[in-house]
């Protein structure tokens, strides 16, 4: 690295590819490129992967019946959804297929359901069936008696987006990709419409190709290189997450009829057994992930129309995510920059960007190949990665066996989610450095008490394991320190 600290060795020479952004899209591209003999580096401004939009969405693997036929979104969604089961199995990431229902509140809505079904067929989606009110009530006993019927999409699935980004990172790293965290791309050095060096908060780096996967900031990254071909409008979606105790209120992912701009407010189970309600849709600013009283009321009153018994006293947390929408093109923008020879833009990755991440990564690789990059398969590529052993998922016999091997699995640190010290040690060994990094890898702090019990214990443990003072332990990197000083000497 020139002009700054040498964060990692071996980066003085020109790299083949720099990926900007470690969301699910950037990490999927990193993993896909790790199949080839290439020198690849991913730069992320946060301390970990998946902390942008990837951590705040509905986590649905959409089958692809919704996007307008002929769009890139329609093509990549349907292909991504088909790739999802095998990717999740290779990378040991949760994937469940509860199926989804698109509800109609009146008889007229059946026409729209028919249109959606036809659109799905055109997009290559199968297993779509329009069901009657009686069939719906049998499958969803808690649903409002006002609903008239639904489009049943049997293959709609749910996953864990941040776990997927973490797994993609780990697998890409296993296969030689390097990651630079806490490093912000701040500009480019240009020469004859080419980026000759990427300026970062920790020095400059040289690379033959630059892939811009910076989510809601992808338009700003492109502009830094003199490319103003697209504009991202952040569109906020707010959510309420309910306790696992009421996770079985709903058996499928429940959608209303979609509008031109949104799939609407959902009521759905999560892969971990919680109940999730949201998101609404409001244009905002790129730094606004607040949940407002009006926003929350909007989401909850909608949910209550479909599920009148929605137990509002069971909400354990609220959050919001920002969709990266290009309101002009209304499609994914995945292309060689029209202004910069060695920049590939991966922008406008709004929903269904998670579902499409596997196919986006292949599409980007194909663009690079078409542009002349030599893709020589690496015979050493390993597609598999093992996740952290979840103590709570094991049988009593398996738990006893694990504790016999390592006593750290005999100590529960998060009482809500039954997370053991052994799992925290494994998370830190794999690169977690913050409370959020541990939460997303192990679920410690994700349960009913939201870290009230395990938080202080985790701070002590992180401090011990990383050999840093407790004052340096952060929730999510710089400026989010958990302990500011001693109250008693």
Ligand X SMILES: Cc1cc2nc3c(=O)[nH]c(=O)nc-3n(C[C@H](O)[C@H](O)[C@H](O)COP(=O)(O)OP(=O)(O)OC[C@H]3O[C@@H](n4cnc5c(N)ncnc54)[C@H](O)[C@@H]3O)c2cc1C
Q: Where on the chain is the footprint of ligand X (CB under 6 A)?
A: 20-26, 43-46, 51-54, 57-60, 62, 184-185, 213-217, 221, 237, 279, 321-323, 349-355
Cβ-based neighbours of 474, under 8 Å, separated by 6 or more: 47, 434, 435, 480, 481, 482
The torsion defined by the Cα of 296, 25, 442 and 388, in degrees rounded to 10, comes to 160
Q: Which is nearer to ligand X, 166 or 419 (CB)?
A: 166
Q: Smallest distance, Å, CB 480 to ligand X?
A: 14
Neighbour-count burial for 379-389, b at 16+ CB within 10 Å, e otherwise: eeeeeebebbb
- Cα–Cα distance between 199 and 423 in angstroms, integer? 37
Minimum distance, C-beta of residue 23 to ligand X, in the bound complex (Å): 2
Task: Output the smallest distance, CB 292 to ligand X, in A.
Answer: 15
Between 355 and 446, name the residue whose CB sits nearer to ligand X. Answer: 355
CB of 436 to ligand X, least distance (A): 12
Whose Cβ is closer to ligand X: residue 354's or residue 435's?
Answer: 354
Which residue out of 31, 45, 62, 325 is catalytically annotated? Answer: 62
Other CB atoms within a 10 A radius of the CB of residue 75 amount to 19
**Nearest to ligand X of 21, 203 (CB atom):** 21
Listing DSSP states for 318-379 in one string gives: EEEEEEEE-TTT-S-EEEE-SS-TTEEEEE---TTHHHHHHHHHHHHHHHHHHTT----B-T
Q: Indicate if 62 belongs to the active site.
A: yes
Is the Cβ–Cβ distance between 66 and 163 less than 8 Å? no
DSSP string of 363-424, one letter each residue: HHHHHHHHTT----B-TT----------GGGS-HHHHHHHHHH-GGGGSEEETTTTEEHHHH
We find the least distance from the C-beta atom of residue 268 to ligand X, in angstroms, to be 9
Which residue lies nearer to ligand X by CB, 45 or 252?
A: 45
Give me the residue label for tokens 């709609």: 156
Catalytic residue set = 62
């Amino acid at each position: 690295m020139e002009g700054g600290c040498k964060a990692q060795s071996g980066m003085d020479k020109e790299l083949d590819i720099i990926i900007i952004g470690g969301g699910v899209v950037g990490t999927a591209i990193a993993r896909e490129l790790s199949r080839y003999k290439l020198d690849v580096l991913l730069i992320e401004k946060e301390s970990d992967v998946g902390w942008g939009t990837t951590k705040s969405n509905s986590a649905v693997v959409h089958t692809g019946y919704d996007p307008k036929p002929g769009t890139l979104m329609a093509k990549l969604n349907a292909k991504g959804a088909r790739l999802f089961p095998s990717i999740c199995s290779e990378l040991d990431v949760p994937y469940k297929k509860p199926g989804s229902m698109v509800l109609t509140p009146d008889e007229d809505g059946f026409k729209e359901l028919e249109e959606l079904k036809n659109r799905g067929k055109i997009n290559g989606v199968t297993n779509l069936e329009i069901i009657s009110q009686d069939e719906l009530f049998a499958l969803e006993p808690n649903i409002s008696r006002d609903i008239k019927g639904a489009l049943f999409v049997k293959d709609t699935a749910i996953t864990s987006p941040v776990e997927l980004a973490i797994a993609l990172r780990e697998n890409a790293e296993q296969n030689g990709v390097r990651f630079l965290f806490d490093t912000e791309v701040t500009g480019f050095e240009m020469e004859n419409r080419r980026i000759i060096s990427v300026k970062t908060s920790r020095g400059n780096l040289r690379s033959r190709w630059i892939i811009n996967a910076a989510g809601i900031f992808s338009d700003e990254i492109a502009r830094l290189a003199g490319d103003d071909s697209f504009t991202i409008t952040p569109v906020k979606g707010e959510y309420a997450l309910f306790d696992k105790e009421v996770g079985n209120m709903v058996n499928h992912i429940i959608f209303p009829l979609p509008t031109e701009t949104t799939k609407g407010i959902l009521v759905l189970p999560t892969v971990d057994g919680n109940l999730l309600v949201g998101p609404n849709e409001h244009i905002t600013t790129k730094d606004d992930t607040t949940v407002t009283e009006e926003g929350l009321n909007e989401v909850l009153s909608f949910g209550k129309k479909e599920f009148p018994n929605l137990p509002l006293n069971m909400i354990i947390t609220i959050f919001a995510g920002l969709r990266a929408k290009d309101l002009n093109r209304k499609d994914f923008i995945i292309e060689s920059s029209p202004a910069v020879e060695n920049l590939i833009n991966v922008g406008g990755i709004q929903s269904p960007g998670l579902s499409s991440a596997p196919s986006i990564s292949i599409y980007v690789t194909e663009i690079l190949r078409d542009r002349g990059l030599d893709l020589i398969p690496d015979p050493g590529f390993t597609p598999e990665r093992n996740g952290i052993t979840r103590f709570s998922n094991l049988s009593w016999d398996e738990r006893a066996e694990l504790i016999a091997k390592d006593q750290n699995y005999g100590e529960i640190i998060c009482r809500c989610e039954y997370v053991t010290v052994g799992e925290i040690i494994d998370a830190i060994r794999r690169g977690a450095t913050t409370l959020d990094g541990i939460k997303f890898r192990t679920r410690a702090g994700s349960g009913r008490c939201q870290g009230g019990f395990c938080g202080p214990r985790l701070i002590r443990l992180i401090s011990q394991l990383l050999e840093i003072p407790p004052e340096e332990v952060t929730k999510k990197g710089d400026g989010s320190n958990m302990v500011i000083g001693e109250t008693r000497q």
